[in-house]
């Protein structure tokens, strides 16, 4: 059992970093220290602070009984009381308090942690640092190592393999060779409990600045094949070029896969899963429909912007590799994609303006009668044309005004193979009826 006289305690850090810890968090440390036994900032929260990154939550290790914490902080919430875990809310966010995992000293807690960068402790009250495994040097070197044997540490919690990729993507850590070699050998098939842990690691990874390096790490270790079978080789590159929008980056990762199955297996929330699948149904925006502006009516502006961003990133990745995507016959140039986007946005803008102006004075049946044609694409084009006319000049939205414009439009772009061509008398009779 470790204690304060163990050799592991004899190697102090070469220099004490100056950290900017929020006052409310320091006040919790001070209050817990006054209960006796000392209180230490530990874990990922301290590691984030050392990287000058705002932690999602701070962790404190205190040797006093959990009952004393709850008595001192009435708003504290026991999260796992049997394991001695309590969450204390503060003005600077939640603070997680735990008891030492081994013995009655913080060194026991550090010895059981997975990564050296998290096996560091700092007592803000006394100013003392504990760094028994060289974690401070690893933080400075951006190096990710385990405390002890990597295979044993990852086997204790298979989701730690995902944490390696997440830390590489979020903070740019370089993975130690020994850790990299065993990375893909410990992740078991996803159980319900493991799915939750995996999702907690994957979502921050996808949103991280260097998500591509994390994805590539999952691929090289074989983990990606377990999570997202048949993911495309350019996924990491494409994801990293996209805005940090979770649905968009998930869609980029799931291109060409059974997305519905993967989303269900990872227990992705219903609303997020629906949006991801909606984006994939319309991707790639330039080839999935003969009339993108018509097909995109069911999408909102954010979805349209996401689809163009995804296609740009995909095409850029293909050009970077000097490759032609096997699933598409040709690459669009950036200028061609820009023109398509302008066309789609103009059509959506015109449609929105027309909706604000009210229903068209001519309906589909009247347009078919005037054009002498049946239901089909020609009617849709005519309706889109009239909508754009009304968007530009709402006062023309009358029966006679739209008829005049429609006749001019029909003469400039006559329909092919319509009933009017087969029976000219029908068209002239219909026009006379107006």
List, in order, residues 6 or more apart from 337 with CB less than 8 Å away: 286, 308, 311, 312, 315
Q: Could you tell me if 85 and 170 lie in one domain?
A: no
Domain-ending residue, one of 118, 141, 164: 141
Domain-located, residue 205: yes
Q: Could you tell me if 273 and 350 lie in one domain?
A: yes
What is the pLDDT, as a whole number, of residue 197? 81
Domain boundaries, position 48: 7-141
Tally of domains within the chain: 4
**Helix orientation angle between 246-254 and 270-281, rounded to the nearest 10 degrees:** 60
Q: Could you tell me if 87 and 51 lie in one domain?
A: yes
Q: Tens digit of pLDDT per residue, the chain (434 long)?
A: 333 333 344 344 555 467 889 999 999 999 999 998 789 999 999 999 998 888 888 999 998 888 999 999 999 999 887 778 999 999 999 999 998 876 678 998 899 999 999 999 999 988 899 999 999 999 999 999 999 999 999 988 888 989 999 999 988 999 999 999 998 887 666 667 677 788 889 999 999 989 999 999 999 988 899 889 999 999 999 999 999 999 999 999 999 999 999 999 888 999 999 999 999 999 998 876 555 656 666 788 899 899 999 999 999 998 877 655 545 446 778 888 888 888 888 777 766 766 676 788 888 888 898 888 888 888 888 887 888 788 778 888 888 989 999 999 988 875 544 444 444 444 333 333 32
Domain-ending residue, one of 177, 194, 227: 227
* Residue 402 to residue 107: CA distance in whole angstroms: 82
pTM of the model: 0.74
Domain-located, residue 238: no
Pairing of strands 121-123, 128-130: antiparallel
Torsion of CA 381, 387, 390, 392, to 10 degrees: -80
Domain-located, residue 319: yes
* Residue 190 to residue 262: CA distance in whole angstroms: 11
Provide the 3-class DSSP secondary structure of residue 426: helix
Q: Output the DSSP codes for 28-94.
A: HHHHHHHTTT-EEEEHHHHHHHHTT---SSEEEEE-S-HHHHHHH-TT-EEEEGGGTEEEEEETTEE
What is the pLDDT, as a whole number, of residue 12? 44
What is the pLDDT, as a whole number, of residue 419? 42
Q: Could you tell me if 136 and 27 lie in one domain?
A: yes
Q: Check: CB of residue 60 under 8 Å from CB of residue 96.
A: yes
Q: Could you tell me if 170 and 104 lie in one domain?
A: no
* Residue 331 to residue 345: CA distance in whole angstroms: 21
What is the pLDDT, as a whole number, of residue 29? 94
Q: What is the gyration radius of the CA atoms in the chain, in angstroms? A: 31
Q: Could you tell me if 353 and 365 lie in one domain?
A: no
Domain-located, residue 234: no
With b for 16 or more beta-carbon neighbours within 10 A and e for fewer, the 312-324 pattern comes to bbbbbbbeeeeee
Domain-ending residue, one of 303, 334, 357: 357
Q: Could you tell me if 20 and 124 lie in one domain?
A: yes
Pairing of strands 174-175, 143-144: parallel
Domain-located, residue 2: no
Q: Could you tell me if 198 and 264 lie in one domain?
A: no
Domain-located, residue 233: no
Domain-located, residue 240: no
Q: Could you tell me if 168 and 211 lie in one domain?
A: yes
What is the pLDDT, as a whole number, of residue 155? 87
């Amino acid at each position: 059992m470790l204690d304060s006289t163990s050799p592991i305690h004899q190697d102090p850090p070469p220099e004490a970093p100056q950290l900017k810890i929020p006052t409310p968090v320091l006040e919790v440390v001070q209050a817990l220290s006054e209960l006796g036994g000392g209180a230490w900032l530990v874990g990922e929260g301290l590691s984030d602070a050392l990287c000058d990154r705002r932690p999602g939550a701070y962790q404190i290790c205190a040797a006093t009984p959990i009952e004393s914490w709850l008595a001192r902080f009435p708003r504290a919430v026991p999260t796992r009381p049997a394991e001695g875990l309590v969450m204390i809310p503060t003005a600077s966010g939640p603070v997680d308090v735990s008891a030492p995992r081994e013995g009655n000293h913080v060194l026991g807690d550090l010895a059981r942690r997975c990564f050296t960068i998290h096996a560091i402790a700092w007592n803000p009250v006394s100013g003392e640092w504990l760094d028994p495994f060289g974690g401070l040097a690893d933080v400075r070197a951006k190096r990710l190592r385990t405390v002890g044997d990597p295979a044993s540490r990852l086997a204790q919690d298979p989701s730690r393999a995902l944490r390696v990729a997440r830390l590489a993507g979020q903070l740019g850590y370089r993975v130690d060779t020994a850790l990299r070699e065993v990375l893909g050998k410990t992740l078991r098939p996803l159980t319900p409990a493991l799915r939750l842990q995996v999702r907690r690691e994957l979502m921050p990874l996808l949103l991280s600045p260097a998500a591509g390096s994390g994805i590539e790490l999952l691929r090289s270790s074989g983990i990606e094949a377990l999570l997202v079978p048949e993911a495309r080789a350019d996924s990491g590159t494409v994801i990293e070029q996209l805005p940090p929008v979770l649905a968009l980056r998930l869609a980029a990762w799931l291109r060409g896969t059974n997305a519905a199955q993967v989303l269900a297996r990872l227990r992705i929330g219903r609303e997020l899963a629906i949006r991801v699948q909606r984006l994939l149904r319309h991707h790639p925006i330039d080839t999935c429909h003969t009339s993108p502006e018509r097909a995109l009516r069911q999408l909102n502006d954010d979805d349209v912007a996401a689809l163009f961003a995804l296609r740009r990133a995909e095409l850029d990745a293909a050009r970077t590799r000097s490759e032609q995507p096997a699933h598409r016959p040709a690459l669009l140039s950036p200028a061609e994609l820009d023109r398509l986007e302008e066309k789609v946005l103009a059509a959506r803008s015109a449609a929105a303006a027309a909706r604000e102006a009210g229903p068209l004075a001519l309906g589909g049946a009247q347009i078919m009668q005037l054009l002498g044609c049946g239901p089909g694409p020609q009617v849709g084009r005519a309706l889109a044309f009239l909508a754009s006319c009304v968007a530009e000049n709402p006062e023309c939205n009358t029966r006679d005004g739209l008829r005049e414009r429609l006749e001019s439009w029909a003469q400039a772009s006559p329909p092919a193979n319509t009933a009017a061509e087969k029976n000219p008398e029908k068209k002239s009779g219909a026009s006379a009826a107006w």
